[in-house]
Structure 1
């Protein structure tokens, strides 16, 4: 009887201790919400449900819960890694670091046993299992599922081959959801490559890269796709061209199909990317251009959909921005409707489903 009483007293003491701790958390972060750093935001059944969902996801470090509308925001940072200025006043909101909560809140998943960030812990009775989160087919679907997703590298599963592929997603420009397939900004990667390299891709998704014709073709074939070209000159003037139709034929030709552009980069019909419409992709070892006597890819030092030869050569040699490449100006990183033969500072090519 005495032992039972002692055990009951200890249990009550622990419960009260946890309750006081949770009460302190609420007071400290009451009516405060972290701005940005969202993984995603969902409606939940209460604050404890919000906390459990954070425990289940290894990448989650903190939560924002609003008792007025029961919305739960999962964050990928905790309060120790952000500045106080990143918090906003929000009536009904409560911010919590996940470390402030007892692990027992999430049962068997409280110890966060799933080590991979793209896995999710699924509790089952007194045990758990780690499951891979379902991978989306492109950046547009990731943005739709996780509206607060940030720019960065994500794993997608291609819709036909079912291959899992890492891609860089621009989640900021014009509503986000763009899959970036070319990015150049400092000349650190050599783009004078053979056809195999352009087919499979090269470079680093954390730096300069070409995604690969095979991947671009498959991802853009899933449905109606738009393409965007973002360019920056040496004086930091930035322009863009938006094409409401973008498609590549299957390899080995990977023929380009694209319409006229809107935006600020193209000012004359038939110039820019539309000049290359209907032409296959060429490299120095796969000459498929329309020129009778010149290998345009060898001349222009990069792979492209050359006609005879180019209005646009964004895979050309990266030379000092604002200068014209000696001997053959067209062999620089150029977009003639914007700055003529002057080499550009930044080029980014990307697409997304309509």
Structure 2
């Protein structure tokens, strides 16, 4: 997944089928979601690490998750991972807090398929984006990017949110799969 403020806007408020198949512009200069079925196929047969990267006010931040795996569609694209994968840039300047702390073993939720644990409604409908939501907290990297004029994360649940020191809003967000 890639979201940059300077690339053409792609709405991540999508259905189950759209998240399954993927959407957006997969070219070099596009925002996109690869597709949950592709994530399942890639992570099932390889030992993968998952890297959440963002820039905020020109500063690069990241957090790694090892042994990242997504189950098949009949299992709700359940996500599993090792959150204590060594994060090499824990110098305070480049370290992104553990965004996925409450998402482990969660099923994927979209606006038309509520698989989260929130008794107050569908987290994807609240956040206007699909994700492995638990109780609507933790992180929302598929949410809308805030306007560049807003430098701190908004309390509006439709905006992208990740736990970052200083509570700065993201300029860019990438979710990257790599071989371990």
TM range (shorter): 0.7 to 0.9
- The CA distance in 2 between the partners of 1:339 and 1:315, in whole Å, is 20
TM-score between both structures, scaled by the size of structure 2 = 0.84
Give the conservation status (yes or no) of the 8 Å contact 2:153–2:161.
no
Structure 1 counterpart SS, 2:178? strand
2: distance between equivalents of 1:298 and 1:315? 12
Which residue of the partner structure matches residue 59 of structure 2?
237
Which SS does the other structure have where 2:114 is aligned? coil
Q: Which residues of 2 match residues 196-207 of structure 1 at below 5 A?
A: 196-206=17-27, 207=30
Q: Which residue matches 2:2?
A: 183
8 A Cα contact 2:96 2:163, kept in partner: no
Runs of 4+ in 1 over 4 A off after TM superposition: none
Judged with a 3 Å threshold, the aligned counterparts in structure 2 of structure 1 residues 339 and 348 are, in CA distance, closer, same or farther, namely: farther
Aligned twin of 1:257: 80
Q: Find the structure with the greater CA-based Rg.
A: 1
Q: Deviations over 1:81-117 (max 9, x none)?
A: xxxxxxxxxxxxxxxxxxxxxxxxxxxxxxxxxxxxx
**CA offsets, 1:115-138, max 9 Å, x none?**
xxxxxxxxxxxxxxxxxxxxxxxx
RMSD over equivalenced CA pairs, Å: 1.7
Which ranges in structure 2 are unaligned for 5 or more consecutive residues?
Answer: 90-94
Structure 1 residue 352, shift from structure 2 partner: 1.8
Shift of 1:214: 0.2
For structure 1, the 5+ residue unaligned runs are 1-181
| 8 A contact 2:70–2:77 mirrored in 1 | yes
2:52, 2:43 → 1: CA distance?
A: 15
SS of the equivalent of 2:52 reads: strand
Matched length: 165
More helix by share: 1
- Give CA deviations for 1:285-322 in whole Å, capped at 9, x if unaligned: 10110111221110011000000012110111222142
Residues 258 and 274 in structure 1, CA contact (< 8 A), matched pair in contact too = no
Partner residue of 1:37? Answer: none
Alignment match of 2:99 (pick from 264, 272, 275)? 272
1:290 match = 117
